Amino acid sequence: MKQCRICVSPWLDEIDEYVTANKFKTIQALYDFMCRKYGPKFDISYHTMRRHVNHTKKELQWGVEASRFREQAIKDQIYKDIETVKITRNNLGILNKQLSEAEVDLSDPIDRKEVRDIIRMINDTVGLLLKYSDKIQHKSEFSEEDLVQKMITCMKEFPMDLQMKFITKWKELKNE
């Protein structure tokens, strides 16, 4: 596929900034503005501008949709984790009550069995909680470099110039 002329032009950052910020109501208005600003140096056709704006908007829309999907998946997982913790806490409360209500004579084999059964249920409940504890993350375990590498991996199907633009922008923001 032929590479977009604007994506390799010196005006890429400026045009993308205008597109992202929706500073112009139409592509024609953006094109006219760039022609007035740069005159004959702006050797990009209106059709090239339109193709670039359309593919840039699609990429932005894809990013927004992916972000929404990711946020919903996180919310769903947090809800499941909270429900699991609520159930586990409730079960531990019931077992604690059973243990405190048990009139136990540890010399009696039946009482010892009852205490062992309650302890086994507590152990099973704690085991269930531990089984899911690794799925609940309290903070990010990623370093900045790991995060950048994961983002680049996600962007591997993007054109190389967009990947390089991301890395450059990331470094700029990091240095602010």
- Tell me the per-residue pLDDT of 156-170, one tens digit each, with 9 for 90 and over: 777 777 767 777 777
Radius of gyration of the chain (CA): 30
Q: According to the model, what pLDDT value does residue 148 have?
A: 65
Question: For residues 78-89, b (16+ Cβ closer than 10 Å) or e, as one string?
Answer: eeeeeebeeebe
Residue 36 has a pLDDT of 94
Query: Where do the H-state alpha helices sit in the chain?
Result: 12-21, 27-38, 46-101, 109-133, 144-154, 160-175
Residue with tokens 């922008």: 169
Domain ranges of the chain: 6-138, 141-176
Predicted pLDDT at 66: 77
Answer whether 0.85 is exceeded by the pTM.
no
Structure-token pair, residue 94: 């019931």
